[in-house]
């Protein structure tokens, strides 16, 4: 469904991605693991068109989408829930959700809103509340719910568990599994490698802008390198 081939991304003279190649098949949950600064968010930005490529190609559903605008990618179902949530704190929960459906018709939004409310009942209960007054976990659910409002085929989640208490983290990962069961393909970026690998089919390890390891989630959970560097064992 998604294929990156030798992707290079620069910020001025800094090369953030040196050579990133990986694939995501339809229906999978694929995780990108990596330390701070490895280039995980940059990879997400490159896929969504928020950052232009300096080299390489990105293919989606067998089309070269390397030069597509973010808007065109969103229209084709590539949707990001960004690092740090980026919700609009003064707007209500419902208004934030509606922003996620900005390219879709009112009727389509109404239909998806029901699905999102089934996934995240708290977002229905709190629909009139200012988003900035939600708890951290609720804000994360709002960020994922807002991405779901765009009806993603490929949902990109950048650090959905960051800063959340262990119990909430469990909820978030459970929800990601549910989202996949609904037919959405998921590319996940996580520092919480263990929880991410447990719900993933496959994973890649990114180090200073390069993919250094690939395998099934089970293989990576058992790998010495991953255990030492990312699982604290």
Between CA 124 and CA 142 the distance in angstroms is: 10
Total residues at the site for ligand ATP (CB under 6 A)?
13
Q: Residues 1, 33, 34, 41: which binds Mg ion (CB under 5 A)? A: 41
- Residue 70 contacts residue 58 (beta carbons within 8 Å): no
Check binding of 41 to ligand ATP (CB under 6 A): yes
Q: Which of residues 149 and 186 has its CB atom nearest to ligand ATP in the complex?
A: 186
Which among 71, 64, 30 has a CA at the least distance from the CA of 50? 71
Residue with smallest beta-carbon separation from Mg ion: 41
Give me the sheet containing 2-11, strands edge to edge: 63-64, 55-60, 2-11, 14-24, 210-216, 202-207, 29-33, 185-190, 154-158, 78-81
Q: Residues 5, 28, 83, 95: which binds Mg ion (CB under 5 A)? A: 83
Binding mask 168-197 for ligand ATP (x = CB under 6 A): -----------------------x------
Q: Residues 2, 40, 65, 149: which binds ligand ATP (CB under 6 A)? A: 40
- Residue 93 contacts residue 113 (beta carbons within 8 Å): no
Q: Which of residues 36 and 105 has its CB atom nearest to ligand ATP in the complex?
A: 36
Check binding of 163 to ligand ATP (CB under 6 A): no
Which among 121, 123, 125, 127 has a CA at the least distance from the CA of 92? 127
Q: Which of residues 40 and 85 has its CB atom nearest to ligand ATP in the complex?
A: 40
């Amino acid at each position: 469904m998604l294929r990156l081939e030798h992707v290079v991304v620069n910020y001025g003279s800094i090369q953030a991605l040196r050579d990133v190649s990986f694939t995501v098949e339809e229906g999978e949950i694929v995780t990108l693991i990596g330390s701070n600064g490895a280039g995980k968010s940059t990879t997400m930005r490159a896929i969504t068109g928020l950052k232009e490529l300096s080299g390489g190609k990105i293919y989606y559903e067998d089309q070269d989408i390397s030069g597509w605008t973010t808007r065109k990618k969103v229209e084709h179902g590539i949707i990001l829930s960004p690092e740090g949530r980026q919700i609009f704190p003064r707007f209500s929960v419902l208004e934030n959700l509606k922003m996620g459906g900005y390219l879709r018709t009112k009727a389509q939004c109404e239909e998806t809103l029901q699905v999102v409310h089934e996934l995240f009942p708290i977002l229905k209960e709190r629909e009139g509340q200012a988003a900035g007054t939600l708890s951290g976990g609720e804000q994360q659910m709002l960020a994922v719910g807002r991405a779901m409002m765009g009806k993603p085929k490929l949902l990109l989640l950048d650090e959905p568990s960051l800063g959340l208490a262990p119990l909430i983290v469990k909820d978030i990962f459970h929800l990601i599994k549910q989202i996949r069961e609904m037919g959405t393909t998921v590319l996940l970026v996580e520092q919480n490698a263990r929880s991410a690998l447990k719900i993933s089919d496959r994973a890649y390890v990114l180090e200073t802008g390069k993919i250094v390891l690939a395998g099934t989630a089970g293989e990576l959970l058992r790998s010495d390198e991953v255990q030492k560097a990312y699982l604290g064992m």
